[in-house]
């Protein structure tokens, strides 16, 4: 990561913490009253082939004893009404500002993968994770809706894993590597504005 990209991340993450802090506190209180504890979902993700970190999000699913794998149709029943609304606006990702400040994430980059897929596909992720993972990125903008539609049709964890590993992992990796070849600050700004634009279009929908 270049020093300019890191300064960009630190400046805007700090600014958003100050500006959106009251909004986040309001969301935490609302989530606590509607869903109870815990209000945060904290789970391991990878920022390098052998570099795990704990990713923070607002909790959008009911709590179970054990949870693994990506979210597909097999987990749909666990998404709470409050969680569905948070996900639709991407508000569940507010706590990732903490991950940006810590240096685990950037604003723009590949989405951080689960350890099981990094261990299964070390050659793919060895290249992809040469870019610091991000909150949004080219693959998130271009492929997210298609990925969600594919996984929504999966009825079991095994089917979800098969579709994700066979179709989604290589498709997103191709996009992440395109971003890696083109990355610069202007391109990062463009992807951030595309993400914001998509959120406004969702809101009107």
pLDDT (tens digit per residue) in 7-19? 999 999 999 999 9
Of the listed ranges 28-32, 69-73, 127-131, the one predicted with least confidence: 69-73
Nearest of 180, 169, 154, 193 to residue 74 by alpha carbon? 154
44 near 51, Cβ under 8 Å?
no
- Sequence-separated (6 or more) residues with CB below 8 Å from residue 167: 150
d(CA 78, CA 94): 21
Q: Is residue 112 very low, low, confident or very high in pLDDT (cuts 50, 70, 90)?
A: very high
pLDDT in tens, 33-58: 998 999 999 999 999 999 999 999 99
Beta bridge partner(s), residue 46:
52
Per-residue model confidence (pLDDT) at position 145:
92
Report d(CA 202, CA 205) in Å as an integer.
5
The per-residue pLDDT for 204 is 54
- pLDDT at residue 203 in the model: 54
Note the pTM of the prediction, 2 decimals. 0.91
CA 172 from chain center: how many Å? Answer: 13
Mean pLDDT over each residue of the chain, to the nearest integer: 92
pLDDT by residue (tens digit) across 84-94?
999 988 899 99
């Amino acid at each position: 990561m270049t020093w300019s990209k890191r300064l960009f991340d630190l400046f805007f993450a700090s600014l958003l913490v100050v500006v959106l802090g009251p909004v986040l506190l309001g969301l935490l209180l609302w989530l606590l009253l509607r869903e109870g504890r815990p209000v945060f979902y904290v789970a391991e993700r990878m920022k390098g082939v052998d570099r795990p970190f704990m990713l923070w999000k607002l909790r959008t699913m009911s709590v179970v004893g054990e949870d693994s794998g990506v979210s597909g149709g097999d987990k749909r029943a666990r998404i709470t009404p409050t969680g569905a609304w948070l996900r639709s606006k991407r508000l569940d990702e507010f706590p990732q500002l903490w991950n940006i400040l810590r240096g685990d994430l950037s604003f723009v980059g590949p989405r951080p993968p689960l350890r099981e897929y990094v261990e299964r596909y070390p050659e793919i992720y060895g290249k992809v994770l040469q870019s610091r993972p991000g909150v949004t990125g080219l693959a998130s903008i271009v492929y997210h809706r298609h990925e969600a539609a594919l996984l929504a049709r999966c009825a079991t964890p095994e089917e979800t894993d098969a579709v994700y590993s066979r179709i989604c992992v290589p498709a997103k990796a191709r996009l992440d590597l395109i971003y890696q070849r083109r990355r610069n600050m202007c391109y990062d700004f463009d992807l951030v504005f595309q993400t914001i634009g998509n959120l406004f279009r969702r809101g009107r929908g």
